[in-house]
Amino acid sequence: MKASARLILPAFLVGLLALSGCDNTTPVADSGDQAAANVLAVPTSQDDGEWRQYVGRMIGKNIKRRSMPPFAFYLPPDDEEEVEKQIAHMRTTVLRPIARDTTLGFGSRDSGLLASRMNEVFEPVPDNALHGVRVVFVGHEADRETVEAAVRDTGAEFVFAQIGS
């Protein structure tokens, strides 16, 4: 046992020495290239699957703490029954106790439809009940103020993620 313990430290040091010789450098892009790489491609189709993935990636870029999984909601605009189910699900979720630093993300390919329904989602939430929670809205600039107003009294931090940025 003592012999193996004496071998661990030298083996560890040899391993570190070997790794220090590796070239792990990658060329750093200039800020213009890096900014272009960070922009997600907006889906050109009306396919909800593509839009759901896009919204999920936009929400992912705006998570407050990576150790806290987000609650992400996508509103499919072509199915009225599904819209009503999702709005009810969103409302139920925001009325539950939500841990501090949790991100709630909302998006749809029809930003205006989602924005017009956000007051229904957040209206029953008591004032400051979402203090410490981040609400991310993925949508168009024209809908930002409507959603921000719906979220304001909840005490949540509002983050706007513009489609196409």
Q: Domain locations in the chain?
A: 30-162
Residue 35 has pLDDT above 70, yes or no: no
Whether residue 7 has pLDDT greater than 50: no
Query: How much is the pLDDT for 122?
Result: 98
Look up the pTM and report it: 0.76
String of DSSP letters for the chain: -HHHHHHHHHHHHHHHHHHHTS----PPPPHHHHHHHHSPPPPSS--HHHHHHHHHHHHHTT-S-TTS--EEEE--TT-HHHHHHHHHHHHHHHHS---TT-EEEEE-S-HHHHHHHHHHHHTTSPTTTTTT-EEEEEE-HHHHHHHHHHHHTTTPEEEEEETT-
Q: Percentage of the chain with pLDDT > 70?
A: 76
Share of residues in the chain with pLDDT > 90 (%): 70
- Band the pLDDT of 67: cuts 50, 70, 90: confident
